[in-house]
Structure formats: structure tokens, C-alpha cells
Amino acid sequence: MQKNGAGVIINTASVHGIRGVAGWTAYQAAKGGLLSLTRTLAADCAPNIRVNAILPGGVNTPAQAITDPALVEESAKRTPMTRFAEPEEIAEVALFLASDSSSFVTGAAIVADGGLSSILT
């Protein structure tokens, strides 16, 4: 990217990087570190390379298939939009960040969590 003089880096973090939930210490610390890395890289790589992060909440992935369905349903209902994201919805955020439509966006953490972070303390 530096050689070409342009590029976009998109990190996938988590809403857990900005909100705390008991029992998730290591995961949340890792995602918080990824957000710090995103901001630092954005500053280091500007102006030619943009670096941003996506912070999804629950997403319907194959991991959901091996999780207790009642737990998944309960978790989804706690989200203001009452469901998890489809992978394509998160991909649309990535597409925006990769496109020229976000040409002035760098160092940002884009939350795509169905409103979950708005209610977590």
C-alpha cells in the first residue's frame, strides 16, 4: 500500500471494545487494543492509507449453530433491534469503508450493533 501510495485497512473489532460486560475480560481487552491500533495506524499511515474499524454486535455466523439456541435468542432480544446482524449487513459497512464514499474517514470505529452499545453501561 505504501509503495502504491494508497490503500484501506479495515479491522474487525467488536462492540465489546467500547462497552464492558462481566466475564469477557480477555476478549474485551483484545478488542480495545485493536481499536487503539486502528487509531495509531490511521495517524501513522495518513494521508494515503486509511485505517478504520468495524464494531459489530451479534452476527448470525456458523458459531451461532454450535451455541445454545435459547442463549442466542435471549441475547438477540436484548438488542434494541431484537435480532443479530446478517453477515451481509456487516459487509456493507466494510464496503462503505473500502470505497471512495468514505475518502475522508480514517481512525474511526464504526458501530454496527443494532443499538446494543446504546443500552450497555
Catalytic residue list = 27
Q: Which strand (E) or helix (H) includes residue 97? A: helix 87-98
Give the dihedral of Cα atoms 97, 98, 99, 102; nearest 10 deg: 30
DSSP string computed for 49-74: EEEEEEEE--B--HHHHTS-HHHHHH
Cell of 48: 494515503
